A and B are shown apart, each in its own frame.
Chain A
């Protein structure tokens, strides 16, 4: 499918996308993991562009981080230091985990030319009083964006942006459902759809999704593969995805922070736009960086696997990611109890040797074939 190439091109070369936006006279603001109020950036007419780091060697950033901080945040600083983000107006970082907290603090000194905008969310996000705190965080972001853009905040523009994002969420969910019917779409191709979503303007990405959906709906599904569910923060390593493809595994659903977790929750517009957006954050659930005493995510993964008829769960564990590392033993236990095969592969953005991963995936496949 031709459209798949467009996703792949965008996923592979975010710098080309950034340069295009800059040529078009657009202001670009980087948004770090995991949840950032992109709608607010969008409402200023700016382009929110995902910054989830990259598979790159760490040099300059080592001056700021000890080795045991996750490679996503380290590589974000590395990219900032080596000029990969030159031209952007700011970086917004939500402090939802300890590594993200230190990212902002180090960024101020490592990349002084690109302003750091903090977004502080409440972890106790369900009570009504938390809404006010979330809104205070948004107002802080707004105030910084006003300074950077020279424009004022516009409530109506935010409402329009919220609709753009809701539409994109809907299309991403629809695509996920449709992809489940198409084993011929490889793990690498699937990943490019999600990865490009973080770089491209949502209007552009939505247009591509519509094109893809039309083609998928018209296409005859390929031969069945072994169905799996992935979980973790990030799953964009080409080497790892190739191993999945070589082993005939199809990702039928995911609980990946950079993938489906982004698109699960819509913003219900009720009353003023900022409160509605705050309610969207309160409504988010089943994520390792969001407090949940019940840890419903654990059962949600088992349910997702059952619902999608998956033969097993692949945990792609980003090394030094505390939130995921604490959840893993509980997820493993729940999967084992449900009779679902589960394996864990530890990855980071400097990983070069995938032999061990390959062996694990092969035995995972064998477990599911039994």
Chain B
């Protein structure tokens, strides 16, 4: 038997963006755990809840979606989903919700523990499923729920009535949180948070836009990891600095002709949908083995929260990916495909996400036609490993590769 020789991984460079971003994500959990330990009230927060509110108030919150993704990526998705199913939840329900409700019900999750909440912050601009999930958390844990309703917008533009409705709710949410936590809202602090959030967002948009270079200076799977910081910590100075470092690194990569994508970039695709966390390695390898780089996703655009004032912020939160109509969603993606010289679209039909997948067939057809690129989809799930078939994924990606190859040959 030959002795396995393990490669010694070099110590991470503490000045690298990757290190800084990982530390922000890690520290977020630690900060909340410490706050809870010293008796402060802590919250759970949905991913597109306006982060400016907890950040300005100085609240300690953590993100169940982020936790569920981490648990799923580390192999605990099926276990927690099954526990929730044992509590009576259908296996058709969003797997993030199942993981979260199981955890809230007392299930262990050594993959990514976090303190139980004293209140929950819910915003349904990504789906109405979120309302149901958070209602159940609030009821089962007997804690308050702050709800900001940002309805799905069937029109291309956000109307004034919607902005007014959202503004009133933001102010209501602030008042409720002041009462619950005893902390006070400070408009000067809000301005600081707004500035920082804008700085972080600009760096993110510029960093992800370096995918316009051929080859791309980064592997698109990086974005799936870094977006957690964009969602949860956009208003923190450390996040702005880390994103600026990321931008600098990507520009330097381009100048040096290197990339975080290992191997030759033969094909460039856009990946549509939430990552298939339980099968992240498999899905990444299926692309890399064929020389495919996922150069962009809607996340590249989605987290660029740049706004000039409070009303503009309300409008920005009404423009997140799952709150917009087919035409607006299509145009955003078409721009990303064109800007980044995308040659194919790979769509994750995510069983957990009815809203994201519900009009994806039609939208991806339109994107394919407008950009003149092939579109292929595969069935999967963001956290439940049982809803993915490796063989189907492999066949579909192979099919996409062959079309992209023949398109190249035809040039």
Q: Does B395 contact A (CB under 8 A)?
A: no
Report how far A102 CA is from B354 CA in the complex, Å: 8
Say which residue of A98, A130, A328, A333 sits within 8 Å of B354 (CB atoms). Answer: A98
Report how far A314 CA is from B355 CA in the complex, Å: 28
* Chain A residue with Cβ nearest B87: A329
Say which residue of A101, A109, A136 sits within 8 Å of B358 (CB atoms). Answer: A101
Report how far A202 CA is from B161 CA in the complex, Å: 32
Say which residue of B161, B354, B360 sits within 8 Å of A320 (CB atoms). Answer: B354
Q: Which residues of B contact A69 (CB under 8 A)?
A: 354, 358
- Are B149 and A291 in contact, with the CB atoms below 8 A? yes
* Chain B residue with Cβ nearest A118: B154
Report how far A332 CA is from B153 CA in the complex, Å: 34
Contact A120 to B132, CB < 8 A, known contacts A98-B354, A105-B359, A127-B168? no
- Are B362 and A322 in contact, with the CB atoms below 8 A? no
- Are B164 and A132 in contact, with the CB atoms below 8 A? yes
- Are B362 and A64 in contact, with the CB atoms below 8 A? yes
* Chain A residue with Cβ nearest B377: A66
- Are A320 and B92 in contact, with the CB atoms below 8 A? yes
Q: Does B139 contact A (CB under 8 A)?
A: yes
Interface membership of chain A positions 305-324, coded 1 if the CB is closer than 8 angstroms to chain B and 0 otherwise: 00000000000010110110
Say which residue of A319, A322, A327, A329 sits within 8 Å of B128 (CB atoms). Answer: A322
Size band of the A side of the interface? Answer: 35 or more
Say which residue of A122, A317, A326 sits within 8 Å of B136 (CB atoms). Answer: A326
Q: Does B151 contact A (CB under 8 A)?
A: yes
- Are B135 and A295 in contact, with the CB atoms below 8 A? yes
- Are A101 and B361 in contact, with the CB atoms below 8 A? no
Q: Which residues of B contact A99 (CB under 8 A)?
A: 354, 358
Q: Which residues of A contact B362 (CB under 8 A)?
A: 63-64, 105-106, 109-110
- Are B128 and A97 in contact, with the CB atoms below 8 A? yes
Report how far A320 CA is from B161 CA in the complex, Å: 32
Contact A95 to B149, CB < 8 A, known contacts A133-B165, A323-B132? no
- Are A293 and B164 in contact, with the CB atoms below 8 A? no
A175-207 interface with B by 8 A CB criterion: none
Q: Which residues of B contact A291 (CB under 8 A)?
A: 131, 135, 147, 149
Interface membership of chain B positions 345-361, coded 1 if the CB is closer than 8 angstroms to chain A and 0 otherwise: 00001010011011111
Q: Does B152 contact A (CB under 8 A)?
A: yes
* Chain B residue with Cβ nearest A120: B151
Q: Which residues of A contact B124 (CB under 8 A)?
A: 123
Report how far A133 CA is from B128 CA in the complex, Å: 18
Report how far A134 CA is from B131 CA in the complex, Å: 19
Q: Does B240 contact A (CB under 8 A)?
A: no
Question: Separation in Å of the B159 CB from the closest CB of chain A?
Answer: 7
A43-79 interface with B by 8 A CB criterion: 63-66, 68-69
Q: Which residues of B contact A327 (CB under 8 A)?
A: 132
Say which residue of A110, A132, A323, A330 sits within 8 Å of B161 (CB atoms). Answer: A132
- Are A123 and B149 in contact, with the CB atoms below 8 A? yes
* Chain B residue with Cβ nearest A124: B149
A77-121 interface with B by 8 A CB criterion: 95-99, 101-102, 104-106, 108-110, 118, 120-121
Question: 11 interchain pairs (CB within 8 A)?
Answer: A98-B354, A99-B354, A101-B152, A105-B154, A105-B359, A109-B326, A120-B151, A120-B154, A123-B147, A133-B162, A326-B135
- Chain B residues at the A interface, C-beta cutoff of 8 Å: 87-90, 92-94, 97, 124, 127-129, 131-133, 135-136, 138-140, 144-145, 147-149, 151-155, 159, 161-162, 164-165, 168-169, 172, 325-326, 349, 351, 354-355, 357-362
Contacts A118-B155, A123-B124, A133-B165 supplied; 16 other A-B pairs, CB < 8 Å: A99-B354, A102-B354, A106-B358, A108-B326, A120-B151, A122-B151, A124-B172, A289-B128, A322-B93, A322-B128, A322-B354, A323-B132, A325-B89, A325-B93, A326-B97, A332-B88
